[in-house]
Amino acid sequence: MKDVAKKPTANQTAYMELVAEIKRQFKRIGKLGYVPLDNVYKDETPKYISQKLLDKLKRAVENIYQFAKYYDPIKDSYIIGTERRRQEYSERSRKGWETRRANEAKRRAEELEKEQIEAEKAKQEQGQKDSEINEEEIRRKARKQAEDEQGLPRETEVAFNQIEDLINNWTESILWSEELKRIKRNDRNTLKSVLDGAISSLGREQVIRNCVNHERDLIDIVNRVLYGSGSKYKEYSAREGVQIDINKFTEILYGRPLTVAESKDISDMMERMNEGE
């Protein structure tokens, strides 16, 4: 009598489906230079599969970059895939900024050129000017005025876009405990609330102006709050250090020191988030 192959269990079936999807995703991002981390899955389906293992594979499907690495030629070492994704977001943000600024300058120059040519024609019609309109000179002046109106320092706006990307595209590390993930998720939400509040209150352009000469400080603060643990806050307890960093972040965005009441509001917000309210 022939042996009848055992039908896979529900967990084994789920395991095989998840592994197949992970392989497809690794193949896709592999074309971009990403390499799978070791021991994400086993090609041979285990006989016993725990729910914990299935949950890990589901996380890999939901965010494959957490389970991949990327060779960084500048650092001459591998970095975690999510860090490379942050670099990509920053690069896209910079290119997007340059495109937006170029398009806005072109649009404004054309607008000024049209206004000034019409004004010169009006003068001629009124007999106030006999010479012909020098349209090329008007175009040159219009381009110069449009460029001068692009008043935000490029370096500051690029850094500000990078800060937004760091906050909006934050991802938790698979190496963190569940408690640390929860805490960092709340810290990220606090940063986002402060950032959104400043933009809503002052306007995006004014917030960016307030950040001039603080670009490096802001990026360091955001990285510490989002990814730093106790070792990043040697002078303070970790939570005290995070509070100080978020207060400093807020002061820079608003362009002034916080009042005692505002500092307390941030502290209360952090506590509410950590209590799950």
Provide mean pLDDT across the span 237-250: 86
Give yes or no for residue 249 having a pLDDT over 80: yes
Give yes or no for residue 52 having a pLDDT over 80: yes
User: Whole-angstrom Cα distance, residue 14 to residue 93?
Assistant: 38
Taking only the tens place, the pLDDT of each residue in 58-80 is 888 888 888 899 988 777 888 88
Provide mean pLDDT across the span 102-113: 75
Would you say the pTM of this structure is higher than 0.85?
no
Give yes or no for residue 222 having a pLDDT over 70: yes
Q: Are 188 and 168 in contact (CB under 8 A)?
A: no
Residue with tokens 């012909």: 132
User: Whole-angstrom Cα distance, residue 90 to residue 158?
Assistant: 8
In terms of average pLDDT, the best of 93-102, 132-141, 172-181 is 172-181
Q: What is the pLDDT of residue 143?
A: 64
User: Whole-angstrom Cα distance, residue 64 to residue 148?
Assistant: 44
Q: What is the pLDDT of residue 237?
A: 67
Beta-carbon neighbour count of residue 241 at 10 Å? 19
Give yes or no for residue 262 having a pLDDT over 60: yes
User: Whole-angstrom Cα distance, residue 42 to residue 27?
Assistant: 16
Nearest to 206 by CA among 160, 168, 237: 160
63-72, 82-91, 230-239: which has the minimum mean pLDDT?
Answer: 230-239
Q: Are 222 and 163 in contact (CB under 8 A)?
A: yes
